[in-house]
Amino acid sequence: MLDMELIRKDREAVATALAKRLDPAEVNRALDEIQRLDQERRALITEIDAERQRRKAEARAYAQAKRSGGTPEPVAPEAERKQLAELESQLDEVHSRLRTTMSELPNLPADDVVAGGKEANRVVRTFGEPPAIEKVRDHVELSRALGLVDHERGVKLGGSGFWMYTGMGARLEWALVNWLIEQDIQAGYEFLLPPHLLLDSAGFAAGQFPKFYDDVYHLDRQSAPRGQFLLPTAETAILGAFQDEILETAKLPLKAFAYTPCYRREAAGSHSDERGTVRGHQFNKVEIFQFTLPEQADTALAEMVGHVEGLVEQLGLHYQTSLLAAGDSSASMKKTLDIEVWMPSTGKYKEVSSVSWGGDYQARRAAIRYREPGGKQTRFVHTLNGSALATSRLFPAILEQFQQPDGSVLVPEVLRDKLGTDRLTPVR
């Protein structure tokens, strides 16, 4: 969450940054409430400290009188002594309300992130040109003709928003996952295979809860009294794995990645640019993550974006990279760049990776810090994450961009050894 000290010292700057994402009146109401609760909390702490000091002085005076043989002063009556417990209870309540209100605020966008939604996104790079295809077939038609995806049996198994890879389609999907894993290892990321069921604390740490609590699949409280949910992205798991830890400064940046299926309640789209495997309730993704010192974050972001762009380029896909406006990026992130592949059937670009810098927002929620060598003070790390990559969107982009007039689809060169062929051909 946000730094309370920054709100105290420069509320105007915080309000200006948040207004890129929220209505200014809403921002001011939230900051008014936060500052009111903060003042109430600090006043209660002062009162509690004074009461504790009074009691210590009372106890010392009583002990001194006993030692010297004098008559000890009577201690405070029981009714007065209960006051401390009442004050502490009030402090717990105020602290809880302050934490809840703070947790609902989004991150402060970076200076170069503009206000607005999708319309304000800015293309910063483009690779290659859209392929020239005389008669474009979409990925759903191609996957059926090539025997790669069985949408009907996927729905039979899981309901709307699910599919099943079959034959060469299953092999292509798995080849993509394995190739991405190999590339991320070569780039210096440590491979993790985390649990798919996470505690609610991991969702809060990542900034997905409470706002997006209903967007994921939860176990019922009887089965999971502590609260558990199916992860929507490996970002949540990697971050959550380091909750409440002090990382060694010498080991930063700490670079990790994970392969997981991702589970989301969001419905599959009905319009043409979200058909097939583009959007669904379960999909495969490889996620890269970095924990860095604050001064390392800019370099780490550029490195991660370059790595993801390199993956898409090695696959030979035409894409563009866009800097997202504040209203189109995740509430937990200061800055996000989307890598978007070209989909010939719709004439649009579709995101296959969002690479984001979270600043210390997630680290505050997760209590992940570092300590300078020889120092006593700890500071919060910065977090960065990115898809490397989401295969359910690479898959249709490959089919559409590499489709041939005879109905076949060329296999990207980097995957040919894994598939044992250079071409996918229609099922006879």
Q: In terms of Cα–Cα distance, which of 296, 206, 286 is closest to 251?
A: 296
- 289 residue type, one letter: F
- The interaxial angle of helices 78-103 and 24-68, nearest 10 deg, is 150
Output the pLDDT for position 147: 97
Residues with Cβ < 8 Å from 297, sequence gap 6 or more? 357, 359, 382, 384
- Considering only CA atoms, give the Rg of the chain: 27
Token couple for 319: 């894409």
Output the pLDDT for position 272: 66
β-strands 369-371, 246-248 pairing: parallel
- Print the SS3 string covering the chain: CCCHHHHHHCHHHHHHHHCCCCCHHHHHHHHHHHHHHHHHHHHHHHHHHHHHHHHHHHHHHHHHHHHHCCCCCCCCCHHHHHHHHHHHHHHHHHHHHHHHHHHCCCCCCCCCCCCCCHHHCEEEEEECCCCCCCCCCCHHHHHHHCCCEEHHHHHHHHCCCCCEECHHHHHHHHHHHHHHHHHHHHCCCEEECCCCEEEHHHHHHCCCCCCCHHHCCECCCCCCCCCEEECCCHHHHHHHHCCCCEEEHHHCCEEEEEEEEEECCCCCCCCHHHCCCCCCCEEEEEEEEEEECHHHHHHHHHHHHHHHHHHHHHCCCCEEEEECCHHHCCCCCCEEEEEEEEECCCCEEEEEEEEEEEECHHHHHHCCEEECCCCCCEEECEEEEEEEEEHHHHHHHHHHHCECCCCCEECCHHHHHHHCCCEECCCC
- 300 residue type, one letter: A
Q: In terms of Cα–Cα distance, which of 338, 231, 246, 258 is closest to 291?
A: 246
Q: Is the Cβ–Cβ distance between 184 and 191 less than 8 Å?
A: yes
**What is the C-alpha to C-alpha distance for residues 316 and 328, in angstroms, rounded to an integer?**
27
Q: Is the Cβ–Cβ distance between 288 and 307 less than 8 Å?
A: yes
**What is the C-alpha to C-alpha distance for residues 172 and 398, in angstroms, rounded to an integer?**
10
**What is the C-alpha to C-alpha distance for residues 290 and 295, in angstroms, rounded to an integer?**
13
Output the pLDDT for position 64: 82
Q: Measured between alpha carbons, how far is residue 268 from residues 3, 23, 142, 285, 299 in Å?
A: 37, 30, 19, 17, 36
Q: In terms of Cα–Cα distance, which of 35, 368, 399, 14 is closest to 201?
A: 368
Which pLDDT tens digits describe the chain residue by residue (428 residues)?
Answer: 899 999 999 999 999 999 999 999 999 999 999 999 999 999 999 999 998 888 888 778 878 887 787 776 666 666 566 688 899 999 999 999 999 999 999 999 999 999 999 999 999 999 999 999 999 999 999 999 999 999 999 999 999 999 999 999 999 999 999 999 999 999 999 999 999 999 999 999 999 998 889 999 999 988 888 899 999 999 999 999 999 999 999 999 999 999 999 999 976 555 667 889 999 999 999 999 999 999 999 999 999 999 999 999 999 999 999 999 999 999 999 999 999 999 999 999 999 999 999 999 999 999 999 998 777 899 999 999 999 999 999 999 999 999 999 999 999 999 999 999 999 999 87
**What is the C-alpha to C-alpha distance for residues 89 and 148, in angstroms, rounded to an integer?**
61
Q: Is the Cβ–Cβ distance between 173 and 284 less than 8 Å?
A: yes
- 74 residue type, one letter: P
β-strands 254-263, 190-192 pairing: parallel
Output the pLDDT for position 123: 98
**What is the C-alpha to C-alpha distance for residues 23 and 46, in angstroms, rounded to an integer?**
35
Output the pLDDT for position 277: 93
- For 385, list phi and psi in degrees, rounded to 5: -145, 160
- 110 residue type, one letter: A
Output the pLDDT for position 80: 61
Token couple for 213: 């609590």
Output the pLDDT for position 268: 55
